[in-house]
Structure 1
């Protein structure tokens, strides 16, 4: 394996790094290379992960966000569309900027594959785009760097996946706040941030439009 050491000029990426077009382009190229590798034996089902986390809360007697049922129902509106129409590929299923390493000459490496499994490649793309900026217009160039050109239907699908990823990570992080030996408030803060972003997206009129676009409707 390649040693990505500080002495060798490597460091973890931050969100601000992904706002640089060459860095984001290299990250998208790394994702595209991953998606072209041979199939993995296991899959990654984000919706099943969300439902599994909700069950974990019940098992542990931990309080869920009060609007969890509403959030799950709205996310569920996109589920039939997202479960069809994609060729599955090996995915990292993790969009965190800190799980990218930046090195000499503009090199970018993907790290942390604990959630790796076969999935819609646009899940990876959507999760990474959501990490770069809150503004969809600014995401379009990053999407084009992956796809070769901007496509509003595929972009809508990637954005829907980013909302699913928000719910998954919000629930996961809030549960970690109760179960992790690390303690502190960082888990809860991160979970609340992802919940806030998810609520804003699902309340926006364009959420339904994205479902219609991704499903092929005008």
Structure 2
């Protein structure tokens, strides 16, 4: 993780974003009266992220300030619980502070780390490290929030209707196959474990120097108890995994790549694209200030979902689970 600038001294804010940081820092009574510098950290889409240097502290800190509109999707208390679980399991940064009222979170700043790229995760050794992180997270104590991908999709569909978000003309076809996949998966029983639910490459951090630092996970905003196969499915969609790599990762996670397991992951890949496609289309209605074309992103995800359900093997995957 790298900060963009040397930073500003507390009390010298010039912009709305900097004033928001200083307001959040003012609520941290343990740091009252200390000399503090803060600098923006790049990479956040929904939130405002900052690197803090606090007088007398043994290391720097990472502060996350929730973005406007993110409360429609994120339970901050549940996200912090998941982050603390990852900390306790040794797979996430150390958690320092959390303000339940504002959702502001302060964590250890992971020195000498950088965010993964999609290219990084095509390297088998890094992809397998990500799988190992999921195996560890999934072994943890259940979270207080259970929210399956079905709950997420249904919530987004309600929000689409409420906000009038624009969706593709073939959405009804996609939703019919969603119903079929849900019926097949629920009939087998949901394997609920603590899940990250947001496996984009940037949420995996690797050592940026010569040392052999262990891979870490960050950003638990969408975490909940969910089916473990869904976490794996989101990972392979974000990695653009080919069929061979997907089978290798299924085997790495489960210890085998049986037909029912691979079919389960394939069905969840379509549902992952449906969930994030709806999310992207909604974001374009909720906030125009994040500098990202969310509607285009959402339509692309929904197009890939349509491609998966149009695969000639889709009926066989429905039967195999």
So what's the TM-score if we normalise by structure 1?
0.90
113-122 or 79-88: which moved more?
79-88
* 8 A Cα contact 2:167 2:299, kept in partner: no
Number of aligned pairs?
212
Match of residue 203 from structure 1: 310
Tell me which protein shows more helix as a share of its residues: 1
Match of 2:172 among 62, 69, 78: 69
- Residues 136-181 of structure 1: CA deviation (Å, up to 9, x unaligned): 1221112222112322211110121111010010010111112124
In the alignment, does 2:182 pair up with 1:79?
Answer: yes
30-39 or 84-93: which moved more?
84-93
117-126 or 189-198: which moved more?
189-198
The 5-angstrom pairing of residues 15-54 of structure 1 reads: 15-54=118-157
Q: Which has the higher contact order (CA 8 A, sep 6+)?
A: 1
SS state at 2:225 partner: strand
Match of 1:136 among 221, 229, 243: 243
Tell me which protein shows more strand as a share of its residues: 2
Q: Which runs of 5+ in 1 are unaligned?
A: none
**In 1, Cα distance between equivalents of 2:259 and 2:201:** 24
* 8 A Cα contact 2:230 2:268, kept in partner: yes
SS state at 1:15 partner: coil
SS state at 2:165 partner: coil
Match of residue 195 from structure 2: 91
- Residues 72-124 of structure 1: CA deviation (Å, up to 9, x unaligned): 11111111222233431111111211211112526221111111111111110
80-89 or 92-101: which moved more?
80-89
In the alignment, does 2:214 pair up with 1:101?
Answer: no
* 8 A Cα contact 2:196 2:223, kept in partner: yes
Q: Which runs of 5+ in 2 are unaligned?
A: 1-92, 95-107
Match of residue 111 from structure 1: 218
* 8 A Cα contact 2:117 2:202, kept in partner: yes
**In 2, Cα distance between equivalents of 1:125 and 1:90:** 13
* 8 A Cα contact 2:250 2:262, kept in partner: yes
Match of 2:299 among 192, 200, 206: 192
**In 2, Cα distance between equivalents of 1:174 and 1:196:** 12
Match of residue 116 from structure 2: 13
- In structure 2, relative to structure 1, the CA distance for the partners of 1:164 and 1:198 (3 Å cut) is same
RMSD: 1.7
So what's the TM-score if we normalise by structure 2?
0.62
Measure how far apart 1:189 and its partner are: 2.5
* 8 A Cα contact 1:91 1:118, kept in partner: yes
**In 1, Cα distance between equivalents of 2:115 and 2:281:** 24
Match of 2:261 among 110, 134, 154: 154
